Structure 1
Amino acid sequence: MKISPAVRAQAQDLLDFIDASPSPWHAVQTCETRLTAAGFSRLDEAERWTLIPGSRHYVVRGGASIIAFIVGNQPPATTGLRLIGAHTDSPGLRLKPKPADDAAGMVRLGVEVYGGPILATFADRDLSLAGRVTVRTPAGFVIRLIRFDEPLLRLPNLAIHMNREVNESGLKFNKQTELPLLLGVSEDGTKAEARFRQPIADRLGVKADDLLTWELNAYDTQKGVLWGVESEFIANSQLDNLASCHAALSALLATDQPAATCLCAFFDHEEVGSESATGAGGSFLVDVIDRMANSASLDSEDQQRMLARSFFISADMAHAWHPNFPAAYEPCHHALVNAGPVIKSNANQRYSTSAETAARFMAICAKAGVPCQQYAHRTDLGCGSTIGPIVAARLGIPSVDVGSPMWAMHSVRESAGVLDHGCMIAALSSAFDG
């Protein structure tokens, strides 16, 4: 398999991007660092905005959602907008507000299941904590990001001698009683809560009593790798959906002086339904577009003309054909790894793709010189959804759902193709150029 040095570099950059982003808040920080380095300026939702053709900006809401855009050089009412959406969150385990528990000499941390992870994949992994913490200060509270690079936590398996049917019935965890993560051995005279708080306080350089609240998730500390005989595959956590964020961001950063305004919107809470102030079901994208229209002095008629000429690409990972489980797939819809971006369709509008928008994305791929594939879910299996239908409904614009094919979606360790990621970057770059 021929893979160019440039495409391999894109794959390695993706791994670096994910490794720097163990939580949605870190993912936004990673995006912000790259945007700032490329000359994008941060906008504050509480301040007035002044946008001029060619200017580059981004805005963050809630710490875990970010919208970045380049203002087009031509009137938006005649060019429309070029929009790409993805999400920063991934399924996993989130700490409860009061997680620490002393269980017969062991300190455990209680967790909630966030979204739909494959819980068995979290067992026997080198887990740690990442997220954000609010800290008391004399002036009120501040929000601090935190990550522990070293493994702090573990979810040990029960020995097969006590679970003889595990290989026949599968590994299952009771979400309440069997998922708490082991932190350490209880110490005489030290409460479990203090054992939990102190490492966080030490890392932040504050007093343990000044830790007010937190949003922390368990993450796998193993770094991403390229694998396969020719290193043609990618393995890492959070490929769903940080791979799409990376591809869209890479495309935006490579766009120079576009005629139409080009925008990337990365939302939190997709894995739990998107209904939040920072989710795709909230007002974030609508608010930004309204402010862009106001800055361009568009009246209501021109705003409608702008939207009518716009196009939205919902970029979220796709299910790759797995040769060991052929019965899980719809015949004639096998999305192969390293065979190009996948157009996802569903008659019940779990995806936003129509025949027209699918053809439009095919043309985008042809212009970029990359192949594309089509996917539909088995009719007798429940189909997941994306932000595509949500955003398309809110904005009333044509939309297509696409993604790179991957294995083990929602595992703590997912896999995808090196070539596919390069093809997706090329396709999304072509979409911004169109």
Structure 2
Amino acid sequence: MDTPQPTAQPPAPDAAAQDLAGFVAAAPTSFHAAAEVACRLSAAGYRELAEGQRWELAPGDRCVIVRDGAAIAFAVPAEPLPAPTLRVLGAHTDSPALKLGPSADFASAGARQIDVEVYGGPLLNSWLDRELCLAGRLVLADGSRALVRTGPIARIPQLAIHLDRQVNDGLALDRQRHLPPVIGLQVPGEDADGVMDLLARAAGVDADRIVGHDVYTIPAQPPEAFGARREFLAAPRLDNLTSVHAGTAAMERVDPAGLDAIAVFAAFDHEEVGSQTRSGAGGPFLADVCERILLALGADRADVLAALSGSVCLSADAGHAVHPNYPERHDPVVRPVLGRGPLLKLNAQQRYATDAVGAGAWAAACARAGVEYQEFVSHNDVPCGSTIGPITAARLGMTTVDVGIALWSMHSAREMCASADVAALNAALAAFVQG
């Protein structure tokens, strides 16, 4: 009898991809992501600043500020610069999801359900038949805030094919009628806990103290490496926690002694809904922080304007690799693929902010990091999405370049990337920040 041979084990994902998986698991919402950025950087020696206090800064300082679901970190060069400039890395913390409504509990056909509102532009079908957690922040009567995350308590069950024989010819979901998740069954004579009771219990607070909430549905399945050689990473929120994670890792490694510009990392909220909020790229957060840094280091208003004009911003957000089943949806000449390095994103209509000067800054960073990169342009007949890049360029007047990791299934409840690209993006962003 032949002796069975042991099955060869595929290699483990590299350290960068494993760390990204941990970051994603710790950041189910933008509020958790901002807190995780601050936690990791505090552990690396950063000092947390309060916006409501006067800042006193000195050469070599490293600091982080959190505003709602956004965070900005910066590192000041160890030696004073005669004409300081800023090297800004931007990303966003939010992802498409379903947001819990203000009066969420209702019942239908013997099922307890919760009312939800679509946030951003998710691939709605990807949220069906998937166990969901609820996560976000609660605001209490005394003004304090609590982060919350439940276990898997919800699901949006899809209608059986027996009741919709044409479903495979084209699934059409009504956003109001077909998306409310089920969280339980009605039991006659039983006064079941409502969703706010469940959230309060998960957060360890009294339900009657909750006066406001920003809570979202979150896929319960954790990130996972897979593939014949485990070369892929599947996870929710890779758009854009890949960039938030890489930016955080870059700031952990930054050395003030080697900086020739003030290094800034801005992780904004609300990119998926237009960025026009107090914690979004269209708001004043980054401009205010940059000005306060320069003023605290002795600059005057004219110096601030001069510094901004000579600064550069790298906007890091996920992009698209050519899909093997839909190659016609991509530009026929520019063909980026998974596993071949991060993307330089270009668009003639300035939906991405990249110009030749910014492209040169990105090429130099990749060369210092020893990273190969790919270019991305949209098919002319497929409308191009946008990023925080054009918003930042317009608000602050900085040279701005759009880059990011390549994905498949972008805006799905579960996206995927190549693990090798995670390490490459981390290295390129670290090289850019350090200069």
What is the TM-score with the length of structure 1 in the denominator?
0.94
Instruction: Give the conservation status (yes or no) of the 8 Å contact 2:268–2:279.
Output: yes
Q: Structure 1 residues 376 and 188, CA, compared in 2 at 3 Å: closer, same or farther?
A: same
Matched, 1:146 2:148: yes
What is the CA-CA distance between 1:360 and the residue it aligns to? 2.1
Matched, 1:65 2:64: no
Matched, 1:39 2:45: yes
Q: Using the alignment, how far apart are the partners of 2:329 and 2:242 within structure 1?
A: 24
Matched, 1:387 2:388: yes
Instruction: Give the conservation status (yes or no) of the 8 Å contact 1:131–1:216.
Output: yes
Question: What SS is found at the alignment partner of 2:194?
Answer: helix
Number of the residue aligned with 1:51: 57
What is the CA-CA distance between 1:104 and the residue it aligns to? 2.7
Whichever residue aligns with residue 243 of structure 2, its letter is: S
Q: Using the alignment, how far apart are the partners of 1:185 and 1:376 within structure 2?
A: 49
Instruction: Give the conservation status (yes or no) of the 8 Å contact 1:340–1:424.
Output: yes
Instruction: Give the conservation status (yes or no) of the 8 Å contact 2:295–2:304.
Output: no
Number of the residue aligned with 2:232: 233
Q: Structure 1 residues 77 and 299, CA, compared in 2 at 3 Å: closer, same or farther?
A: farther
Q: Structure 1 residues 261 and 124, CA, compared in 2 at 3 Å: closer, same or farther?
A: same
What is the CA-CA distance between 1:302 and the residue it aligns to? 2.1
What is the CA-CA distance between 1:210 and the residue it aligns to? 2.3
Whichever residue aligns with residue 68 of structure 1, its letter is: A
Number of the residue aligned with 2:179: 179
Number of the residue aligned with 2:203: 204
Q: Using the alignment, how far apart are the partners of 1:291 and 1:223 within structure 2?
A: 39
What is the CA-CA distance between 1:390 and the residue it aligns to? 0.4
Q: Using the alignment, how far apart are the partners of 1:207 and 1:248 within structure 2?
A: 36
Instruction: Give the conservation status (yes or no) of the 8 Å contact 2:38–2:65.
Output: no
Deviations 1:12-35 (A, max 9, x none): 000000011111111111111101
Instruction: Give the conservation status (yes or no) of the 8 Å contact 1:77–1:306.
Output: no
Q: Superposition pairs for residues 251-266 of structure 1, below 5 Å? A: 251-257=250-256, 258-266=259-267
Instruction: Give the conservation status (yes or no) of the 8 Å contact 1:57–1:70.
Output: yes
- 1:95 is aligned, of 93, 100, 109, to 100
Q: Structure 1 residues 4 and 132, CA, compared in 2 at 3 Å: closer, same or farther?
A: same
Q: Using the alignment, how far apart are the partners of 2:16 and 2:374 within structure 1?
A: 21
Q: Using the alignment, how far apart are the partners of 1:24 and 1:189 within structure 2?
A: 39
Question: What SS is found at the alignment partner of 2:83?
Answer: helix
Deviations 1:311-335 (A, max 9, x none): 1000000101111101100111111
Q: Using the alignment, how far apart are the partners of 1:398 and 1:175 within structure 2?
A: 39
Give % identity: 42
What is the CA-CA distance between 1:75 and the residue it aligns to? 4.0
Point out where structure 2 has 5 or more consecutive residues left out of the alignment: 1-9
What is the CA-CA distance between 1:202 and the residue it aligns to? 2.2
Q: Using the alignment, how far apart are the partners of 1:48 and 1:4 within structure 2?
A: 51
What is the CA-CA distance between 1:191 and the residue it aligns to? 5.7
Q: Using the alignment, how far apart are the partners of 1:255 and 1:287 within structure 2?
A: 22
Whichever residue aligns with residue 59 of structure 1, its letter is: I
Number of the residue aligned with 2:127: 122
What is the CA-CA distance between 1:77 and the residue it aligns to? 5.6
Whichever residue aligns with residue 338 of structure 1, its letter is: G
Whichever residue aligns with residue 236 of structure 1, its letter is: A
Number of the residue aligned with 2:22: 16
Number of the residue aligned with 2:109: 104
- Stretch moving more, 225-234 or 154-163: 225-234
Question: What SS is found at the alignment partner of 1:383?
Answer: coil
Q: Using the alignment, how far apart are the partners of 2:363 and 2:397 within structure 1?
A: 21
Question: What SS is found at the alignment partner of 1:252?
Answer: helix
Question: What SS is found at the alignment partner of 1:98?
Answer: strand
What is the CA-CA distance between 1:366 and the residue it aligns to? 1.4
Whichever residue aligns with residue 200 of structure 1, its letter is: L
Deviations 1:390-413 (A, max 9, x none): 001111110100011110000000
Q: Using the alignment, how far apart are the partners of 1:265 and 1:202 within structure 2?
A: 33
Q: Using the alignment, how far apart are the partners of 2:41 and 2:286 within structure 1?
A: 18
Q: Structure 1 residues 282 and 191, CA, compared in 2 at 3 Å: closer, same or farther?
A: farther
Instruction: Give the conservation status (yes or no) of the 8 Å contact 2:11–2:230.
Output: no
Whichever residue aligns with residue 145 of structure 2, its letter is: I
Whichever residue aligns with residue 233 of structure 1, its letter is: F
Matched, 1:268 2:273: no
Question: What SS is found at the alignment partner of 1:47?
Answer: coil
What is the CA-CA distance between 1:189 and the residue it aligns to? 4.4
Instruction: Give the conservation status (yes or no) of the 8 Å contact 2:341–2:374.
Output: yes
Count of aligned residue pairs for this structure pair? 424
Whichever residue aligns with residue 106 of structure 1, its letter is: A
Instruction: Give the conservation status (yes or no) of the 8 Å contact 1:76–1:306.
Output: no
Matched, 1:374 2:379: no
Whichever residue aligns with residue 363 of structure 1, its letter is: A
What is the TM-score with the length of structure 2 in the denominator?
0.94
